[in-house]
Amino acid sequence: MYAELLKNKIQLLKESGQYREFVTINRIRGQYPLATLSGKKNDQSVVVWCSNDYLGMSQHPLVTAAAQEAIQLFGVGSGGSRNIGGTHKHYNRLESSLADWHNKEAALVFPTGYGSNDATLQCLLRLLPDCTIFSDELNHASIINGIRSTKAACAVFRHNDVSHLEELLVEQPIDQPKIIVFESVYSMDGDVSPIKEICDLAEQYNALTFIDEVHAIGMYGPRGAGKAAELGIEHRLDIIQGTMAKGIGVIGGYIAASNEIIDVIRSFASGFIFTTSLPPSIVAACNASLEHLKASNHERDVLHRKTKILREELNRAGIPIMKSSETHILPVLIGEAQKCKDAAKRLLERHRVYLQPINSPTVPVGTERFRVNVTPNHTEEQILQLKDALIEVFNHFDIVFVEQSDVTMQ
């Protein structure tokens, strides 16, 4: 009975074109964004265009050397949770460096960015009496699941709509605990939140602010600390959440906040307390990448220059970049799940271009897309090859071209 029920669920996914299949991509050390496909000859390299290794820092010699040195000194595991044998010397340095990066008193590192959102929100909502949380409708699944796992009241506001947020805030007593949770850069649309305006409302209505900066970390701000740093308003945000898995190029999540908030999460968040910590090699690599990005603007400058080139080339070709995008994330609208999968397959097999289809439930039905991410490592020749490949695939599948990529769907 149970097997049949589960098979039916999978069959429905397959019939709708939403069934997800993994492509085994083996990135080539020192040659990013090139990769090989398992089962293919070594010379069958492909160009990866959808990685969240936004700055290519996973390949940086300083980062890989730090990881290798730590493995030689400490081995490959951490030995336990942070409370039981899993806090090594690299942790203290990383958490101090993250706090400095965001101009906060303290920071706390988690094994993943998902875990840092989920555990922190769960903990706060269970500790703050009668707390209401106000959540942007496009927040990441880790935020949504963190909220849903508690009994806290949740008010969802329309995406980036501060007027709607205020309508919801004004309904609550001024002295009732409140948290506003939102992202700085939204990963599927590439748009930016009205951070300053949300902070204004938080101060007016006595709410804590929790900002997820995972898709901005490393890429924006004078030292790469994100969009809040770029605006110079980090001090107005109570909790800044980030990741080491994207711009920093390794793995791990964190929050930066006041001493009181960090100590409470460290002491009460079960998702932090009862999990094995990151191994020394990973934390050492994070340290090396972070310190480099604090001091170097080179990677950020090249990323933004190449994003501009790619955006202009795709616009000229009529490839529909969603109009919401104002960052390094370029969502290319396809609009149909099966066609998106078929287009991805043709790009890979015919053009050696790897783009993963983004289908429901990650994005709404009818807005299926590719999320294109150029990096400092991509060449201008590869950018032109991608444009030509997309033109051929769009023509082959009768995907609609547009004039100057005037696409407003979200």
Per-residue pLDDT tens over the stretch 39-78? 666 567 999 999 999 999 999 999 999 999 999 999 999 9
DSSP 150: S
Please check the confidence at residue 179 and state whether its pLDDT lies above 50. yes
Instruction: Give the integer Cα–Cα distance in Å for 401 and 394.
Output: 8
Catalytically active residues are: 246
pLDDT for 406: 52
Positive or negative torsion for Cα 42, 45, 51, 55: positive
Backbone Cα Rg of the chain: 22
pLDDT score, position 41 = 62
**For residue 198, which amino acid is it?**
I
Taking the alpha carbons at both ends of the chain, their separation in whole angstroms is 39
290 to 42, 66, 247, 295, 320: CA distances (angstroms): 33, 12, 9, 9, 35
C-alpha 78/C-alpha 76 separation (Å) is 7
Does pLDDT of 33 surpass 70? yes
Q: How far apart are CA 313 and CA 319, in angstroms?
A: 9
Residue 404: pLDDT band by 50, 70, 90 thresholds? low
Per-residue pLDDT, averaged over 133-140, amounts to 98
pLDDT of residue 44: 78
Tens of pLDDT, residues 249-301 = 999 999 999 999 999 999 999 999 999 999 999 999 999 999 999 999 999 99
The C-alpha angle 140, 145, 151, rounded to 5 degrees, equals 135
Question: Rounded mean pLDDT of 205-213?
Answer: 99
Spatial distance between the Cα atoms of 349 and 352, rounded to a whole number of angstroms: 6
Predicted confidence at residue 405, as pLDDT, reads: 46
- 89 CB-side CA count, 13 A: 3
The percent of residues in the chain predicted with pLDDT above 90, rounded, is 91
Distance CA 299, CA 217 (A): 12
DSSP string, 327-348: SSEEEEE---HHHHHHHHHHHH
Find, among 300, 211, 222, 265, the residue nearest to 95 by Cα: 265
Do 230 and 195 contact (CB within 8 A), yes or no?
Answer: no
